[in-house]
Amino acid sequence: MHSETTAKRLELTGIPIAPGCALGKAHLLRQISLEALEVNLFPVQDVAAEIARLERAVQQTRTQLEELRAQVHADDSRDLVGILGAQLTLLEDAELLDKIRDTIRDRAVNTEYLIAHEIRQIEAVFRNLKDEVMRSRFLDVQDVHHRLLRNLLEIEHVRTNPFRRLTAPVVLVADRMLPSDIALLELDKILGIIIEEGSTVSHVAIIAKSLGIPAMTEVPHATTRLRSGDDLLLNADTGQAIVHPDENDLAWYGKTHHHHLARRPAGRNGRKAAEAHPPCQTTDGVRITLDANIGSLREVDEALHAGADGIGLLRSEFFYLSRQEMPTLEAETDFYRDVLRSMHKRQVTIRLLDIGADKPLPYLQLPQEENPQLGMRGIRLLLRTPDLLKRHLRSILHASEHGTVRLLLPFITTLHDLDRMLAVIHDLCREDQIPRERFHVGIMVEIPVVALDTDPFMRRVDFVSIGTNDLIQYLFAACREASHLQEYRLTHHPAILRLLHAVANAGKAHGKSVSVCGEMASDPTMALLLIGLGIRNLSLQANALPQVRTSIQKHSLAALDKLAREAMEMDRAEEVLALLKQLQPG
């Protein structure tokens, strides 16, 4: 795909999700929309050319699959070799291809429309199969046909591994992205990310922020307004992107880029860097624990540099999402062991897999759900996949001998689920002779019913961590991925503050630690409010840590307590925002 646009300077605007600037060639990724293709029927003038287009796409798909198979052969991944072999066989399905060729000849219509219809029919056949294993094969069938469609339409998607073929890093421009998409990207080839649609608390935003990749969202029609190969300057500090930047833009970038480089930490010795930060406390001497949220080993170093007291949230699903196949017990245990060792005995909160909803695993067949945000996520899913749950838990419990582990259970809704999980943990400890007192167990408070009635949960666990990202989406019934619902996710709403205050109080009454690990804690003024509400432990993005620490160290607990009381008396989020504006964050 080469640019045919004239080199006219074009400005695009959006909402910044991760700070920084990037300059490079654009690289487009688009998801296939079967729904759109199914209704996009149009006549073709040149039937022979249309059939030739189909043949080219089939040939291209065959070459890609063969290349991929050779690649994974080299990596010695037998399952994947088998899947790719089966996909090649599917591609050679003469009956299907003949049927499409005949229809193009008879009806003179576009090929993608016909393929989209074929996929739908095959989908219906698979959905009715009794055998679950056979039913799960549909994903492989779908995958090969989607690949064929992408080649036909000349669009790329992460699953095709387009980054292997890139020789220089690019600025990624995508219509939408799932966490599993971003986790599969070759990060050293990505300078920046522009997404047409996605909210600032989406998991993609969280990953981009934590990896320090400049990113911007809400850029309508980005994938149609520019082409792969266009020069692109992204300023994710201001939410601006310039296609075909001129000399002035480039001169500006030259200066800014140096400024950004200068801000990077110089050394890489985590232990020394952490020692350089005195413990965080308010001016009247109240200690506030500042932990980091991480998803990978490379972020441990950054957390230590930023002076994190520990890891308040290790999203274990990011380890799974960064792989092409299910990790072995050994590989996963090694991962946690490495994190624990790097943290030098500091506390590490490992959250059990929170997959489902917007975080599907490419290699795990999940039930199709109408509304996955209200469906099989986190613990609900793990309890239904006992083999996965046991292997996953085992890897954490085995690694726990290398450091201080807190086990965090995501998406807890009922005492029944919690009790079942505690029983599984108890049984595994007994089976593998792991002392139960070697680690603490806690839950995410992220579903309204748990926040509204925490006492019974507090009695059963050692700590709780409030997941404000989900709690807010469920309290306001406004999906966190949807940017157009931003006005309903009222983080500053007094009702939220009163609820958080109640959870903090319950923690105090039960002598249990309460932390906040949602994005709210990364905001320097919201962090002040949280402390006023009674929270003493925050877990946040490592790059937000210095600013949050400075902000806290400027205020007394007495003043923050007063601030929170005032905010809780208010009626509206806007009033709380106005109150916070009077503060000096740092």
- The residues carrying an active-site annotation are 203, 517
- Scanning 54-62, 136-144, 226-234, 459-467 for contacts with Mg ion by CB under 5 A, the matching segment is 459-467
The C-alpha atoms of residue 517 and residue 281 are separated, in whole angstroms, by 18
Nearest to 539 by CA among 182, 208, 210: 210
**Least CB distance to ligand PEP at residue 195 (A):** 17
From Mg ion, ligand PEP, none, interface partner of 468 (C-beta below 5 to 8 A by class): ligand PEP
Q: At what angle do helices 138-153 and 47-75 cross, to 10 degrees?
A: 130
Q: At what angle do helices 557-568 and 494-510 cross, to 10 degrees?
A: 130
Closer residue to ligand PEP (CB): 53 or 480? 480
Closer residue to ligand PEP (CB): 446 or 523? 446
Q: Burial level of 384, CB count in 10 A (0-12/13-18/19+)?
A: exposed
Please, which of residues 510-529 interact with ligand PEP by CB under 6 A? 517-518
DSSP conformation class of 571: S
Nearest to 219 by CA among 199, 194, 237: 194
- Scanning 16-24, 244-252, 259-267, 442-450 for contacts with Mg ion by CB under 5 A, the matching segment is 442-450
Neighbours of 576 (CB within 10 A): 25
107 alpha carbon, distance to own chain's centre: 44
**Residue 312 contacts residue 300 (beta carbons within 8 Å):** no
Beta carbons within 8 Å of 574's beta carbon, 6+ residues apart: none
**Least CB distance to ligand PEP at residue 517 (A):** 5
From Mg ion, ligand PEP, none, interface partner of 315 (C-beta below 5 to 8 A by class): ligand PEP
The C-alpha atoms of residue 179 and residue 157 are separated, in whole angstroms, by 13
Please, which of residues 108-147 interact with ligand PEP by CB under 6 A? none
The C-alpha atoms of residue 335 and residue 395 are separated, in whole angstroms, by 9
- By CB under 5 A, how many residues form the interface with Mg ion? 3
State which residue has the least CB distance to ligand PEP.
Answer: 467
Q: At what angle do helices 138-153 and 78-91 cross, to 10 degrees?
A: 60
The residue ranges of DSSP E strands in 451-576, in sequence order, are 463-466, 513-516, 537-541
Please, which of residues 515-554 interact with Mg ion by CB under 5 A? none
**Least CB distance to Mg ion at residue 466 (A):** 10
Please, which of residues 234-263 interact with ligand PEP by CB under 6 A? none
Closer residue to Mg ion (CB): 332 or 446? 446
**Least CB distance to ligand PEP at residue 529 (A):** 16
- Scanning 218-226, 431-439, 469-477, 557-565 for contacts with Mg ion by CB under 5 A, the matching segment is 469-477
**Least CB distance to ligand PEP at residue 467 (A):** 3
Instruction: Name which position in 169, 270, 403, 467 contacts Mg ion (CB under 5 A).
Output: 467
**Least CB distance to Mg ion at residue 295 (A):** 13
Closer residue to ligand PEP (CB): 210 or 400? 210
**Least CB distance to ligand PEP at residue 354 (A):** 6
14 binds ligand PEP (CB under 6 A): no
470 binds Mg ion (CB under 5 A): yes
Please, which of residues 311-340 interact with ligand PEP by CB under 6 A? 313, 315
Ramachandran angles phi, psi of 290, nearest 5° = -115, 110
**Residue 141 contacts residue 75 (beta carbons within 8 Å):** no
541 binds ligand PEP (CB under 6 A): no
Neighbours of 11 (CB within 10 A): 11
Range 576-580 contact pairs with CB under 8 angstroms and sequence separation of 24 or more: 576/492, 576/493, 576/494, 576/497, 576/529, 577/492, 580/492, 580/525, 580/526, 580/528, 580/529
Please, which of residues 446-505 interact with ligand PEP by CB under 6 A? 446, 467-470
301 binds Mg ion (CB under 5 A): no
**Least CB distance to ligand PEP at residue 470 (A):** 3
446 binds Mg ion (CB under 5 A): yes
**Binding map of ligand PEP across residues 338-357, x = CB under 6 A, - = no contact:** ----------------x---
Nearest to 492 by CA among 570, 553, 584: 570
213 alpha carbon, distance to own chain's centre: 13
Q: Which positions lie near ligand PEP, rule CB under 6 A?
A: 313, 315, 354, 446, 467-470, 517-518
Q: Which positions lie near Mg ion, rule CB under 5 A?
A: 446, 467, 470
